[in-house]
Structure formats: C-alpha cells, structure tokens
Structure 1
C-alpha cells in the first residue's frame, strides 16, 4: 500500500491558513471516500473536509485549535488499491484542490452578529473519484448532521451521534444530547442531579468562540460606541400585523421583524450616514445606496448573520419568506458563501427573551446596529384617558467617529413615526 497526503485546499480567496475546529477521525481509523474527516475554520467561514480516498488514517496535522497552512498536509491516509494508482494521486500539486469543501457550516466574524465576507469553495479534482478505491457503501460511516460544537461535545461525552435521535428535523442539537444523557441510563449516561456540585472545567477558546473573542475586542478597541434608546408604541402596528396574518393564506406568518425592516429601509434614505461602512485604515466612509441588512440568527454553534440583499426592494411578505429561508439555512449550516457578508446595517433581537434595553456591539466595518427589545403591555395616558398600550424600546448603537448623537436620535424618531403610524409603511 501507499500513502496519500491530503493537502488542505485553497478554501477562500486570500486565505493563507485555517484552524482545525473539529476532527472526526483519529489515527488508526478506517475512512471511506467522501467521509467527513475535519472541520476547518478561516476568518470567513467553516467548511467540512471530506476524504477523497478510502483507507486508514496514519497521521493528522495537529490538534483542535492548531492552524494549518493552505497546501500543507492535513491528513495522511494509507490508501487501498494498487500502489501505482496511489502514487499518482499523491503527486497532486501542493496547494491544489484535492478535495471539495462540501458545505459552509457557520460563519461569525463579529462579536454579536458577524457577517463575514463571502468565501469561494475550491473545486474538486475532477479525476480523484476515478483514481481512488471503490467506495463500500455498506460499511460507510453514516453522515449525521450536527454543528462542530455539538460534534465536539458528543466526542467528549463518548456519545455516538448516530445513536442520537433528533427531536426536530434531521439535525442533532445540544438539546438532543441532553435528552440522550437523561434517558440512556443503560450506558451510564445519567444527567447529574441539579443539586450536586460539578467539577471545574477548562474549555479551550477555539473556532467560532475564538473568532468572537478576537472580533469583539477589535470592535470595542477600534469603534467608539454610543447607544441611544427610545420607547415606541407598537399597539397599532401589532393590530395591523394580526390583520395581515389573518389574510396571509399560504404565505409565511408575519413577525415584527419584516415590518421593522420595511420601516428601516424607508427611513434610511434621509440618514445615509447610518447605512454605511467605514474603512478606518483608508479613512473612507462608503454610504450604500442599497440596504443589505444583516439578520441575527441563533444556531447551535452561536450567532451567525445571513444578509438580506436589497432589502429595500422587497415587500413585507417577501421579507418574511426570505427571513424564514435564511434562518432555516443558518440553523441547518447550509448558508451559501454569497449569503454571508457585505451587510450595510444590522438588526439584532433577543426575540421572546426580550429585555428592557440592549447596547449591541457594532458589526465592523458597519457603523450602526439596531436592536428591538421586548414588547410589553402597560397603561399609558392618551389625553385624559388611561389605556392599554403595547410598548417596545428600540436601541441603536452607532460609531461616534462618523455618526453624531443628533443623527442617531433623529433617525430613531423617523423610525418611530413609521412604526407608530403603520399605514405609512404601505404608502407609495
């Protein structure tokens, strides 16, 4: 037998190295062609690496958290088949695409709502499949859908993901691992009693958490933030939303978010300094003529931000459909590279968790981020009467280098007018 050097392909323009965030094999393991072997993270995305050959793993490039240069050996596999064929595969040009990064898993380059720049997947070597040994489907390891964080936790707990039944869809999540721990008593995986003390745990800051830490520090170090919060009466807006949902037919159910996005897009043309990106090294602010709106989405691995392109051209139903599509893709780790990055302003919300007010961190190089908070029902004065009203605080954080406090406050007042008089959202 001969050995095949699986070199890390170029998984993004301008990328010189990638971090190992998860190994799915170890030395001595048998791997099949197309079996997932590792998850690699760059500054822009995380991609799943699959083996282009069948064989036995004899060497790994490093441990989780280590950096691997593009073109250097990631895994050495003792391959099946004739030696001549094996040598021919091994002689691929260093740095060439010997395997295709099959899927963008997740992407966070910002402390709260990162929206990294797109990354191009390297094409697979067209003849790898022909030159490698035949794949034995009967013995191929089942491919279980799960994020790198879930895989790492399962590996630490000694859980075979193939034995875990997802409660929803076909993707294993942390909640599924918790359920497995509670009920798999026959294997000794009982959840600890709530009152028992737990041992201290050291967790390496790697992968997405490392990117979050680095970019949070960079955002706070470079950007002088200020946050403005105002209260908005959304009683009428909630009534309009209920009416629209009653007549929606087969269209997706409206949440507050698509209505808020319509209001954001309608009010931004008067405040172009907010819909912008600031290159502080070049000293240039680019005011965008289009609204590419980043949308926070919670996934098992953390927050990621798909971008709604040209949000200003979409009506409320189109926005609702796009929000649903992008959120589902993010949670399933199936966002395309072009659906990430290039945002001009971001919206972040804690959803049902709500909160009185938030001070969101700006998604650098953007200059503003908007955070709607929980809707609460309270008595308010209307003239001499006391009535029930639905109220929501709205937060906006801005880069004080390019946005003045007066501009931020004026923008929220314009936004408030649209949200408190929702008929204006649908007026030409």
Structure 2
C-alpha cells in the first residue's frame, strides 16, 4: 500500500489546504496522473500519483488544513512495495498551473497492468472554476493543447447547458419570488478563515512579533516622471510607473545593501544578498501574493515592465510557478491606484524592509520661492530596526526620491 503525502511544494511551506480530489475510492490511476489539488499561502498545486494502481482509501476530507507530511490517501500498486521503499525514491514531479517541476523515477508497469482511467488535463484555476459552478470536467471536451480544458471551455459548457426554451423562460418569469425572511430570522454571515488567508495571517503575525518595525514616511515629486512617461507613450512605448519604481529601488539597494539583506540570528550574521530580487505585492481574490522579479539589476525598465505585467496576470489567474514566488530580497507595494496617503506596512519576513507607494495628487508646493502645482506622492518604508537605523532609511529614501524626481539621472547609474 502506497501512502500519498503532502510534501513541501513551496519555500518553507509547513501546511496546506486540501481543495479537491480528482479521484474516488476504487478508481484506477496511472503514474503522474493528478489526483489531488492543494492550496498553500502562495500557490495552488496538483499532486500526481507516484505509482499506478487503485485508490484504496482517502484519509483527509477536502477542505481540511493539514501539516506537511500528512498522508492524504492510500494507493494499492499491486507490486507489494512497502511505504518506506517509496519514501526513499526521488521526489515526484508536481504541477503548478501549467508548469511541471521536480524530478521523477518511473516505476515499471506492464501494459496489461496499466489502467485505462481517463486523465483530465486542466489547470488548477480551471478546476476551481468548474468546482464553483458544479461542473464535472469529464463532460467537457477540451480545446487546448493535447485536449487540455481551458477556462473558456468551462464557461462555454455552462452557457450551452443553461440555454432554455422560450416557453420555460416565460414560466420562470411568472414564478413568484421567494419570501423574504424577517430580520429576526436572518442567518449570521461568516467567511472561512483557512487556505491562503490563514497562511497570510500566520506569516504577518510572525513578522510583526519577530521584527521591531519602524516606518519612515517621505514625499516624492513625480511630476517629471509622469511627463517622461507621457512622452514615451506618445511614441508608442507604454511603461508603468511601477517599472520605474523597481529600477530606482534596485539602484538604491546597490548603494544601501543593508536593505537587501537577511538577518541570521543563529549565526549572528547579517547576510547581504548578491542579487536584487524585488517582490511585487499583488491583490487577488484569494488574498495577497508576492511574485518576484529576479535579478532586476540585469533588466531594463522595458523588460521589468513586461515581466511585471505578466506576473500580475499570472497571480490573478492563480498560475504562478514556485520560482516566480520565491527568492525575494525586497518587497514593494504600489497601492497608489487604490488611494490612501500613508500606511505602516508589515515586512515580508525574513526580508529586512518593505516600501509602499501611495496616492499621487496634484498640490501646491514651493519651488525657488514660488508656489507651483506639482504631482506629489507619499511613500511608507518599514524596516527592521535590528539591522538598520533611521538615518540609513532616510538616506535610502532620499536617494530613491532623487532618482524618481530626476528620472534621466537613472541613466547615469546604469551599467
């Protein structure tokens, strides 16, 4: 009997939520067939079967949070292998979105033993859509590569299924509406505190209780940056303001490497990162997630803009890979489009600092003893006071502000 366990499929993952099973007791499965979908604080992943065989027992119900190492279900491979033999094998591959990563070692199965169970190809986000709509993916014909079922296939199936004859539609329109319950009989509304929301809460609490946070505020004149961006837009080159922020942050981190570091308390060392990997906080339906732009110092502003746009799309579609959400050394949050003039952001542990950009608005300011209208933006920078002091944080934000207020000066810093 083979135990299928929840393995660590993320950076420092300790637990996950079992979202759904793609099999039931008695089903025949083949090696590498997706059998269960799990949700961590960073990603949704499909775990494949390590062997071919029969599902004998499902030990954990869907919707349950479990620790890494918990056995989820049992598979009878018919080979007489013992559990500890499987544990010694290389980690099986796992699927995140449309990407396969990891290593695998095939188990020999004769053709006569191979089950004929149909494998349904669909991304985790597509499965989620179908699950929420109560649709069986087995009834849908996929139009994607190799017959993969796409989001459009699911929505198209729903539209076809719910098309009704005109007579039925008229009958439905004449039906009396359901009675409204008196206020005294109303049911308390609740939201589940699990999955990504619970993981975010755990990580934020750990950061706040571990790191002595200090938040520094600054005001930045972004008038010239907005003007430069408009000029490039007129030339057919659309670049987001956030891409300029990332490049300016990367340059500032080179000059102030203490904020691109990690504190190793056990070894009593402050480890300065050799690479500048900037995380971008993205708000999604399932909660905050931070995809990472790796090696920002080796990329142009145009390249940063294109990569950031792709990462945000994948974050909102729940299609990020493990690498795209790991390895960050510094995090930025651009909440300006949503509004707000300030915040005290919580550091993305175990990083040393996090910067948040707020609403930009035109206001009168004094320049050369004259009152002029400028586009001003507030920023909030939280940092670990064990690692850096306030004067260093002020120096960092001052240098960042100089680059943003005079965007052409960034060209002088590029190598």
TM-score, normalization: structure 1? 0.74
- For the pair 1:391 / 2:376, whether they are aligned, the reply is yes
Change (3 A) 1:53 1:283: closer
**What is residue 102 of structure 1 aligned with on the other side?**
95
**What is residue 125 of structure 2 aligned with on the other side?**
146
1:386 Cα deviation after fit? 4.1
Listed as ranges, the matches of 1:349-368 within 5 Å are: 349-368=334-353
Change (3 A) 1:333 1:414: same
Q: How far apart, in 1, do the equivalents of 2:410 and 2:390 lie?
A: 25
1:406 Cα deviation after fit? 1.6
**What is residue 160 of structure 1 aligned with on the other side?**
135
SS of match in other structure, 1:285: strand
1:384 Cα deviation after fit? 5.8
Q: How far apart, in 1, do the equivalents of 2:315 and 2:400 lie?
A: 28
Kept in 2, the 8 Å contact 1:100–1:124? The answer is yes
**What is residue 117 of structure 1 aligned with on the other side?**
none
Kept in 2, the 8 Å contact 1:105–1:333? The answer is no
1:264 Cα deviation after fit? 1.4
Change (3 A) 1:403 1:329: same
1:74 Cα deviation after fit? 2.6
Kept in 1, the 8 Å contact 2:247–2:297? The answer is yes
Of 303-312 and 231-240, the range deviating more from structure 2? 303-312
1:37 Cα deviation after fit? 2.8
**What is residue 416 of structure 1 aligned with on the other side?**
401
Kept in 1, the 8 Å contact 2:44–2:97? The answer is yes
Match of 1:373 among 358, 362, 365: 358
- For the pair 1:126 / 2:119, whether they are aligned, the reply is no
SS of match in other structure, 2:245: helix
1:283 Cα deviation after fit? 2.5
Change (3 A) 1:283 1:54: closer
SS of match in other structure, 1:366: coil
Q: How far apart, in 2, do the equivalents of 1:239 and 1:41 lie?
A: 43
Deviations 1:72-123 (A, max 9, x none): 7432357xxxxxxx412765723246853122699xxxxxxxxxxxxx9542
Q: How far apart, in 2, do the equivalents of 1:184 and 1:298 lie?
A: 35
Deviations 1:352-376 (A, max 9, x none): 2131112211011111101111212
**What is residue 65 of structure 1 aligned with on the other side?**
64
- For the pair 1:220 / 2:208, whether they are aligned, the reply is yes
1:385 Cα deviation after fit? 4.7
Deviations 1:18-42 (A, max 9, x none): 5343123474575664654322356
**What is residue 328 of structure 2 aligned with on the other side?**
343
Structure 1: stretches of 5+ with no match in the other structure: 79-85, 107-119
Kept in 1, the 8 Å contact 2:212–2:384? The answer is yes
Query: What's the RMSD between the two structures over aligned residues?
Result: 4.1
Of 300-309 and 218-227, the range deviating more from structure 2? 300-309
Match of 2:261 among 269, 276, 295: 276
Change (3 A) 1:354 1:43: closer
Kept in 2, the 8 Å contact 1:89–1:128? The answer is no
Deviations 1:331-369 (A, max 9, x none): 344433333322221111225213111221101111110
**What is residue 79 of structure 2 aligned with on the other side?**
88
SS of match in other structure, 2:86: coil
**What is residue 187 of structure 2 aligned with on the other side?**
199
Kept in 2, the 8 Å contact 1:290–1:310? The answer is yes
- For the pair 1:23 / 2:20, whether they are aligned, the reply is yes
Change (3 A) 1:75 1:125: farther
Change (3 A) 1:54 1:184: farther
Q: How far apart, in 2, do the equivalents of 1:184 and 1:201 lie?
A: 32
SS of match in other structure, 2:408: helix
1:16 Cα deviation after fit? 9.7
**What is residue 81 of structure 1 aligned with on the other side?**
none
SS of match in other structure, 1:427: helix
1:397 Cα deviation after fit? 0.5
Q: How far apart, in 2, do the equivalents of 1:291 and 1:8 lie?
A: 35
Match of 1:234 among 222, 233, 245: 222
Kept in 2, the 8 Å contact 1:293–1:311? The answer is yes
Change (3 A) 1:275 1:53: closer
1:268 Cα deviation after fit? 2.5
Q: How far apart, in 1, do the equivalents of 2:282 and 2:13 lie?
A: 28
Computing the radius of gyration from Cα coordinates, the structure with the larger value is 2
Kept in 2, the 8 Å contact 1:294–1:346? The answer is yes
Q: How far apart, in 1, do the equivalents of 2:26 and 2:124 lie?
A: 20
